[in-house]
Chains A and B, each alone.
Chain A
Amino acid sequence: MVTATALEEELRRLAGSVLDPELPVLTLDDLGVLRAVHVRGEDSVEVELTPTYTGCPAVEAMSMDIERVLHEHGIRDVSVRTVLSPAWSTDDISDEGRRKLREFGIAPPRGGRPAGPVTLDLGPTRTAATEPEPEPVRCPSCGSADTELLSRFSSTACKALRRCLSCREPFDHFKEL
């Protein structure tokens, strides 16, 4: 006999294996956005999901994918609830998630530092850091620590656009939040 807890664990594993629609190398577990799965009754499950950014448009696609996966597993009634608290942080991205991001060509967020923008000053044409950052953003292609910020916002709100000064390749950086 399957206990509720074992079932919850199994459903959580299923929901957690759903891929992020914007970063399809990451699962929701890698990203750390799946907060809980509660079995509320026979055939009824409530899932708690937290957005990376408040306005992240991927949340709706994630919710639909979770519903689909759990429906396929025989759960008839699936409700996905968005929770804001405690606020998601890039520290919630797993080590496995960071490795996958790097392989995908996105510099992962640096961990263990206060969230928020790094103080920068303007150079003649580009933004330049006033002082060396404690932990540089490394180029995901060649690994060089010699990279510069091109724009604080990139293809999505959660990323910044940078360029490697060694191999000259532009790349996205999952910025710290």
Chain B
Amino acid sequence: MTLTVNTAAALALGDDALVLSHRLGEWAGHAPVLEEEVALANIALDLLGQARVLLSMAGDEDELAYLREERAFRNLQLVEQPGGDFAHTIARQLYFSTYQRLLYTQLAAGESEFAPLAAKAVKEVAYHQDHAEQWTLRLGDGTDASHDRMSRACEALWRFTGEMFQPVEGVDIDWEGMRAAWLESVGATLLRATLSVPEGPQSGAWTAGAGRQGLHTESFGRMLAEMQHLHRSHPGASW
């Protein structure tokens, strides 16, 4: 399948939203408190809405979500990482929502076909980022146990953050400027939360940095199997 540039870009951004939406949905029934259950499901729903718009720009949304193989997905490896403990989910939310807000802010100011969605979604993502930052502060500057867990989660996911700033073909924004703004924002939140900015590389490890090229980490295949199973078992079924 040959993709035109903008279709490839719509897939990359749409897959990020779809996959993270599914990962957040996995918390349903498992979140630490009821309010969080509702918050994570609402964030997942916002992301699903964005995914539907973006994937529809690239083709049939259902076919793209449910009938593609693992290697055809273009999402960041960060978003496919398993939920882990609550701290891992919050660290992933902090890294990703900060990235997505900066990305959509730039896209909303441009004139590409992504501008209308970005202008709308950036307001939703502002709430996601606020949610993640507040939890980062509470967990980092909380008990010894919550501090340790949050610290471990931030370290563990750090190596997946470099991939966010690999230019996506067809997305015309200032990627290096975005990396600097991301580091400043995330760094300030981590410091306020009494956590340190991880020192390891942001990419370069053998597993990190290739989601945009269709290379994914081990758990992604299992996630897709669960996500696609119903649709594949009952092709064409409707409510």
**Interfacial residues, chain A to chain B (CB-CB below 8 A):** 51, 53-57, 84-89, 115-117, 120-122, 127, 150-157, 161, 175, 177
> What is the distance, in angstroms, from A32's C-beta to the closest C-beta of chain B?
14
Closest 4 CB pairs of A and B: A55-B49, A54-B49, A85-B116, A151-B35
The yes or no answer to B81 lying at the interface (CB within 8 A) is no
Known: A87-B116, A152-B130, A157-B124. A122 touches B38 (CB 8 A): no
CA separation between A154 and B47, bound complex, in Å? 16
Of all chain A residues, the one with the shortest Cβ separation from B35 is A151
**Interfacial residues, chain B to chain A (CB-CB below 8 A):** 35-36, 38-39, 41-43, 45-50, 52-53, 115-117, 119-121, 123-124, 126-127, 129-131, 134, 137-138, 141
> What is the distance, in angstroms, from B136's C-beta to the closest C-beta of chain A?
10
Instruction: Check A153 against B49 for contact (C-beta < 8 Å).
Output: no
> What is the distance, in angstroms, from B211's C-beta to the closest C-beta of chain A?
23
Of all chain A residues, the one with the shortest Cβ separation from B192 is A121
Of all chain A residues, the one with the shortest Cβ separation from B53 is A54
Known contacts A55-B49, A153-B42, then 9 further A-B pairs from the complex at CB < 8 Å, ordered by chain A residue: A54-B52, A54-B117, A54-B120, A85-B120, A150-B35, A152-B127, A153-B127, A155-B38, A157-B42
Q: Which of B46, B116, B123 has the most CB of A within 10 A?
A: B123
Instruction: Check B124 against A53 for contact (C-beta < 8 Å).
Output: yes
| Interfacial chain B residues near A150, Cβ < 8 Å | 35
Of all chain A residues, the one with the shortest Cβ separation from B129 is A117
Interface CB pairs A-B, < 8 A, 9: A84-B117, A84-B120, A85-B120, A87-B116, A122-B137, A150-B35, A152-B130, A157-B45, A161-B38
